[in-house]
Amino acid sequence: MNIVGGLRGIGKRVVNAVWRTGYGARFFVMTLRYSGMSFRRFRLTVREIFFSGVLSLIIILVAGMFVGMVLGLQGYETLKRYGSESALGSLVALSLVRELGPVLAALLFASRAGSAMTAEIGLMKATEQIDAMELMAVNPIARVVAPRFWAGVISMPLLAALFSAMGVFGGYVVGVVNIGVDEGSFWSQMQASVDFQHDILNGVIKSLVFGLAVTAIALFEGYDAPPTAEGVSGATTRTVVESSLAILMLDFILTAFMFQGA
Amino acid sequence: MSASLVELHDVNFAYDSRPILKGINMSFQKGKLIAIMGLSGCGKTTILRHIGGVLKPTKGYVKVDGQVIHELDPQGLYAMRRKMGMLFQFGALFTDMTVFDNVAFQMREHTDLPEEIIRDLVMMKLHAVGLYGTQELMPGELSGGMARRVALARTIALDPMLIMYDEPFAGLDPISLTVVGELIRRLNDALGATSIVVTHDVQESLKIVDYVYFVSNGAIIAEGSADDIRASGEAFVKQFVHGEMDGPIPFHYPGNDFNTDLGVHA
Amino acid sequence: MERTTLDLWVGVFVVAGIAALVVLALKVGNLSTYNVSESYQLQAHFTNVGGLKPTASVRSAGVLVGRVVSIVLDTSNYDAKVTMSIDKRYQFPKDTFANILTSGLLGEQYIGLIPGGDDKMLQSGDEFKKTQSAVVLEDLIGKFLYNSSDAKK
């Protein structure tokens, strides 16, 4: 093993990564371009909303409930030290609506629905279903990829909203019902500090962006997967890793834009 | 001179710089059933992909129905593909749809036929392959031979003028093998279509085909009718047809000399 | 094309998702107290706004009457210019006193309005003449320490 060989290996990987990025960008543009069918034949998209959205419901609702309950407990413990337990409602609601709702729902969505999308498309490719479709004069991007993409983009904000609502309920159960924080101040503090435009709409925008990123990554990884068993399983892992990182990085960027100076 | 539906003229193709096809000339006559034979990885499937317009030749051209495939625009190519049918190696049925939806797929995508007519057509196609009654099953519930026949019904859904088969006999038991072979012949004659069968199953295909091209290393090394091939004196064809262990294709991988590596010196 | 159970489930999902958004907006957020169309704007200058932020509430006698829209530094005399939008239903006399107050010891800061006795009412775009700045805790503690060290002497 010599230095030149090692350098050549690194160079090859870099070139490969850049190449793949370009291919991915073109894939994304093609998906948008061939999206007409997803809306003209909305049934195709509805079907995919079932697979990505409805089937993720249980995990989202349960996770949201527990996250809210933990927030209620931890928040209470911390706020008690400063004698401001009444601010529990605003703490729970703000953390959920601004951050935890969109981010955690997107992370769960990536591992539940994103990985399934990658595996499905990867297998369709491995078993030549994509090729078959292409040779039947049906554009697989329009028929298979785009409906899944739009289903993800539509499902994600709804799932995030359900997660947050469930979390607020969980926080309420622990804070008010269990611990006994005053119910009136719980809700009124919450309403006084959570702004519709500033917090809730921004949360919705975040989850839209996350949904877009996760489905685009999942679909591309599936479409680009080598048509073998190892190829598909590798692509599934990459989907979860890449979309989790993308969610967290995008979250930072979006937060910086949305809440600066406020 | 009878018209040829598909024509390959000096087709060359290379992946990166590795040549796959080297100057292939073929001509497929209308109404005939033609086989392309050769070892796995010799470029047979690549030829089909050129005819379907998935790949573009680096040199030469493929003409289908008088049009050069790689010069067509996307609309033209899609219009051309509607007149073709292709059966993939393992059927490539859509695993998330029922048998019925699989066969109806192209009718729904490409025509505005009402659902009742699609129903009747699907039943006819399933009947033609002897699988009437399986319409509600999912592809996963079918045996390999049945899946192949459903895929065949899907391939002929829009009565294509050209049907391509990619290894239709791979992985089938002897009975399914005969059934599929017989179906290929019968459908070809009933539809008046032209069929191209890519295969390495010599015995089964020689029974049904009109003409054979033998491909090795990306070039045609023999061609002729089934009888010509059986009687061929070409060493490679002989080894292939009779399945002999040694011949032009050696048993040993061309590595270093075994004795030298073992340290045995003469 | 007929309806399927799949459609039902997707319908349930979409309705539940939108309901969750509405709940968040009304129950958790402040959309129920939002009246963008029916409000007018008033200004006030403060020498120090402390921790006051845009969207902070404006209250009179403890009742929410509006919100802070923007806070900018007015470079003509280097003080803070606060713009707030007030619900149309509430009118205030010209000599109303605007205070920056804190809810609780460490709570959020808000603007409290104490109405005066003038007959004329403030119109959109008008300014509160009488204001009191935020109480800055550091200053307060500083003063207290200074005083107590004085007292010891």
pLDDT, tens digit, 9 for 90 and up, residues B58-116: 888 888 888 888 888 888 888 888 888 888 888 888 988 889 999 988 888 888 888 88
C-alpha radius of gyration, chain C, whole number = 23
Are C28 and A157 a contacting pair at CB < 8 A?
A: no
- Is pLDDT of C1 > 80? no
Within this chain, do residues C79 and C128 fall inside the same structural domain, yes or no? yes
What domains sit in chain B, N to C, each tagged with a CATH number?
A: 4-83+160-262 (3.40.50.300)
Within this chain, do residues C2 and C54 fall inside the same structural domain, yes or no? no
Select the residue of A128, A139, A143 nearest B88 (Cβ to Cβ).
Answer: A128
Within this chain, do residues C4 and C56 fall inside the same structural domain, yes or no? no
Question: Any chain A CB within 8 A of the CB of C124?
Answer: no
Question: Any chain C CB within 8 A of the CB of A153?
Answer: no
Within this chain, do residues C57 and C70 fall inside the same structural domain, yes or no? yes
Residues C61 and C39: their CA atoms lie apart, in Å, by 19
Calculate how close chain B gets to A260, using CA atoms only, in Å. Answer: 47
Within this chain, do residues C105 and C79 fall inside the same structural domain, yes or no? yes
Interface list for A 105-124 with C (CB within 8 A)? none
Average pLDDT of span A249-255 = 93
Nearest one of A179, A184, A173, A190 to A97, comparing CA atoms: A190
- What would the pLDDT profile of C104-148 be if each residue is shown by its tens digit? 666 678 888 888 888 888 888 888 888 888 777 777 788 888 877
Are C27 and A192 a contacting pair at CB < 8 A?
A: no
Which of the residue ranges B229-243, C29-43, C122-136 has the most confident prediction, judged by mean pLDDT? C122-136
Question: Any chain C CB within 8 A of the CB of A262?
Answer: yes
ipTM: 0.80
- Please give the pLDDT value at position A260: 66
Calculate how close chain A gets to B235, using CA atoms only, in Å. Answer: 35
Within this chain, do residues C18 and C68 fall inside the same structural domain, yes or no? no
Residues A199 and C19: their CA atoms lie apart, in Å, by 17
Within this chain, do residues C116 and C78 fall inside the same structural domain, yes or no? yes
Nearest one of A75, A64, A60, A100 to A186, comparing CA atoms: A75
Within this chain, do residues C82 and C130 fall inside the same structural domain, yes or no? yes
Calculate how close chain B gets to A246, using CA atoms only, in Å. Answer: 30
Helix or strand holding residue B25 (H, E) = strand B18-29
Question: Any chain C CB within 8 A of the CB of A135?
Answer: no
Look at chain C and report how many structural domains it folds into. 2
Cβ-proximal residues to B96 (8 Å cutoff; 6+ apart), any chain: A120
Look at chain A and report how many structural domains it folds into. 1
Burial class for B98, CB neighbours closer than 10 Å (0-12, 13-18, 19+): middle
Interface list for A 38-97 with C (CB within 8 A)? 43, 46-47, 49-50, 53-54, 57, 82, 84, 87, 93, 97
- What would the pLDDT profile of C3-33 be if each residue is shown by its tens digit? 678 888 888 898 999 999 888 888 777 665 5
Average pLDDT of span C49-74 = 84
Structural domain contains residue C116: yes
Q: Is B151 helix (H, G, I), strand (E, B) or coil?
A: helix
Question: Any chain A CB within 8 A of the CB of C9?
Answer: yes
- Is pLDDT of A157 > 90? yes
Q: Is C150 helix (H, G, I), strand (E, B) or coil?
A: helix
Facing residues of C45 across strands?
A: C81
% of chain C at pLDDT higher than 90: 1
Helix or strand holding residue B210 (H, E) = none
Within this chain, do residues C45 and C27 fall inside the same structural domain, yes or no? no
- Joined together, the tokens standing for residue B247 give 């011949």
Structural domain contains residue A246: yes
Residues B122 and B145: their CA atoms lie apart, in Å, by 19
Nearest one of A246, A86, A245 to A181, comparing CA atoms: A86
- What would the pLDDT profile of A51-70 be if each residue is shown by its tens digit? 999 999 999 999 999 999 99
Q: Tokens 């200053």 appear where? A: C139
- Please give the pLDDT value at position A162: 95
Are A262 and C10 a contacting pair at CB < 8 A?
A: no
Residues B162 and B156: their CA atoms lie apart, in Å, by 9
Calculate how close chain C gets to A226, using CA atoms only, in Å. Answer: 32
Within this chain, do residues C56 and C107 fall inside the same structural domain, yes or no? yes
Q: Tokens 């192209």 appear where? A: B106
Could you list the residue range(s) of the whole structural domain that residue A137 is in? 34-258
- Please give the pLDDT value at position B265: 63
Question: Minimal Cα distance from A123: which residue of B?
Answer: B95
CB pairs under 8 A between A and B: 48
> Which is more confidently placed, B206 or A73?
A73
Residues B218 and B19: their CA atoms lie apart, in Å, by 8
- Please give the pLDDT value at position C87: 84
- Please give the pLDDT value at position B1: 40
Average pLDDT of span C38-58 = 84
CB pairs under 8 A between A and C: 96
Question: Minimal Cα distance from B48: which residue of A?
Answer: A135
Q: Evaluate whether A247 touches A213 at the Cβ level (below 8 Å).
A: yes
Structural domain contains residue A25: no
Are B54 and A136 a contacting pair at CB < 8 A?
A: no
Residues A96 and A206: their CA atoms lie apart, in Å, by 12
Are A195 and C30 a contacting pair at CB < 8 A?
A: yes
Burial class for A255, CB neighbours closer than 10 Å (0-12, 13-18, 19+): middle
Residues A49 and B191: their CA atoms lie apart, in Å, by 41
Residues B128 and B34: their CA atoms lie apart, in Å, by 21
Question: Any chain C CB within 8 A of the CB of A156?
Answer: no
Nearest one of C113, C119, C55 to C85, comparing CA atoms: C55
Cβ-proximal residues to A67 (8 Å cutoff; 6+ apart), any chain: A96, A100, A104, A163, A167, A170
Structural domain contains residue C150: no
Select the residue of C17, C55, C104 nearest A159 (Cβ to Cβ).
Answer: C17
Question: Any chain B CB within 8 A of the CB of A129?
Answer: yes
Select the residue of A120, A134, A143 nearest B54 (Cβ to Cβ).
Answer: A134
Within this chain, do residues C86 and C132 fall inside the same structural domain, yes or no? yes
Q: Evaluate whether A151 touches A113 at the Cβ level (below 8 Å).
A: no
- What would the pLDDT profile of B37-65 be if each residue is shown by its tens digit? 887 777 788 888 888 888 888 888 888 88
Question: Ramachandran region of residue A117, left (φ > 0), alpha (ψ -120 to 50) or beta?
Answer: alpha
Are C29 and A87 a contacting pair at CB < 8 A?
A: no
Which of the 8 DSSP states describes residue C135? Answer: P
Chain A residue numbers with beta carbons less than 8 Å from the beta carbon of C70 are none
Could you list the residue range(s) of the whole structural domain that residue C26 is in? 1-34
Interface list for C 19-78 with A (CB within 8 A)? 20-21, 23-25, 27-34, 53-55, 57, 64
Question: Cβ–Cβ contacts within 10 Å for residue C36, how many?
Answer: 7
> Between the CA of residue A164 and those of A71, A82, A125, B88, what are the distances in Å?
12, 26, 37, 47
Question: Any chain B CB within 8 A of the CB of A40?
Answer: no
Calculate how close chain A gets to C11, using CA atoms only, in Å. Answer: 9
Residues B162 and C133: their CA atoms lie apart, in Å, by 86
Structural domain contains residue A20: no
Burial class for A233, CB neighbours closer than 10 Å (0-12, 13-18, 19+): middle
Residues B13 and B15: their CA atoms lie apart, in Å, by 7
Chain C residue numbers with beta carbons less than 8 Å from the beta carbon of A155 are 13
Question: Any chain C CB within 8 A of the CB of A158?
Answer: yes
- Joined together, the tokens standing for residue A145 give 């990829």
Within this chain, do residues C89 and C21 fall inside the same structural domain, yes or no? no
- Please give the pLDDT value at position A262: 47
What residue type is assigned to position B125 of the chain? K
> Which is more confidently placed, B221 or A48?
A48
Half-sphere exposure of B220 (CA within 13 A, CB side): 18
Structural domain contains residue A198: yes
> Which is more confidently placed, B57 or B245?
B57
Nearest one of B166, B154, B174 to B182, comparing CA atoms: B174
Residues C87 and A205: their CA atoms lie apart, in Å, by 28
> Between the CA of residue A160 and those of A45, A207, A253, what are the distances in Å?
19, 7, 19
Average pLDDT of span A175-194 = 84
Residues A246 and A241: their CA atoms lie apart, in Å, by 9
Q: Tokens 């967290």 appear where? A: A248
Structural domain contains residue C126: yes
Q: Evaluate whether A49 touches C11 at the Cβ level (below 8 Å).
A: no
Are C13 and A155 a contacting pair at CB < 8 A?
A: yes
Structural domain contains residue C113: yes
- Is pLDDT of A245 > 80? yes
Residues A197 and C54: their CA atoms lie apart, in Å, by 12
Structural domain contains residue A186: yes
% of chain B at pLDDT higher than 90: 0
